[in-house]
Amino acid sequence: MKAESNWRVARERTLHWADGAPLLMAILNVTPDSFSDGGSHNDPERACAFAAECIAHGAEILDVGGESTRPGAVLVSSDEQIARTQSVLARIARAHPAATLSIDTTRAAVARAALDAGATIVNDVSAGDDDADLWPLVAARGCGYVLMHRARKPSEDSYSDQYAQEPKYAENDDVVEHVCAWLRDRAQAAERAGIARASIAIDPGLGFGKSVAQNFMLMARLQEVVALGYPVVVSASRKSFLKAASGESRPVARDSASIAAALEMARAGVAVVRAHDVAGHHGALRRQAKNAEKTT
């Protein structure tokens, strides 16, 4: 059996995963405008039913978001995010007390309400840039924390297959070196702010301000991100850069390409794969892990 790694997501809860067998984080968008499934779960009853389905299909973490982070998305107030997510989280926590719940937000008020409702992870695509009160809250609560690299806020971003020119990140134009350095520096800053190292996970932010080629380069060299020593959370699920590989214009039709990407990233040693199609990802990841065990 491969060695296990750990991510502390609460003072009394630690998640474990084996190398090559990452945890699965289900995407639950309680929004009307998600790029992939906008409106599908924009109702507490449907959201809770989908959460139960994801758990049954093998999701270890449920990531609930009340604000779309798709390119061009408009900001949603903290009050509206709370109205969309808090009751859903509370209902899921009551129905599935063993489930690990995450709130996808950049706002401290939203995170606080979610943690009060039963979430134990804050998934922050801004890495603390959007709200100065978020890091002190995470430090005080001792919850899990995901910080992600993004080059632009969603309202200023473009889909990765729509850049006229590749975004520039460094003088040598090596997106992987830039992302690694940025994530390392930001994680260290979070530690200095009082967030425990054991609670921090990092996300290279596939699709967030990167071109198609840059996304594939990050995937190909993902081991460099893993080598930073923090649990790595990744998501290629249904993103626009996969259109270049699959030819599918509809996000939901990219599930096969999403699974193929997840399998490659699992081989690189990531901790968590975030996905829409939980059943498909879980089955493929489990088969790959079992086959790898047979050959070792």
Q: What is the DSSP letter of 243?
A: H
In sequence order, the 6+-apart residues with CB closer than 8 A to the CB of 100 are 9, 13, 15, 60, 61, 62, 120, 121
The single residue of 274, 287, 290, 294 carrying the catalytic annotation is: 274
CA distance 142 to 120: 9
Give per-residue burial for 205-241: e unless 16+ CB within 10 Å, then b: bbbbbbbbebbbbbbebbeebbeeebbbbbbbbbbbb
Q: How far, in Å, are 69, 240, 275, 281 from residue 154 at the CA level?
A: 5, 14, 19, 26
CA distance 265 to 275: 13
Q: What is the DSSP letter of 106?
A: S
CA-closest candidate to residue 31, choices 72, 85, 87: 85
DSSP 117-172: HT--EEEETTTTSS-TTHHHHHHHHT-EEEEE--SS-GGG---GGG-SSPPP-STT
The single residue of 153, 239, 243, 254 carrying the catalytic annotation is: 239
| H or E element, residue 175 | helix 175-192
168 is catalytic: no
Q: How far, in Å, are 101, 113, 170 from residue 89 at the CA level?
A: 7, 10, 40
274 is catalytic: yes
User: Which of the residues are catalytic?
Assistant: 239, 274
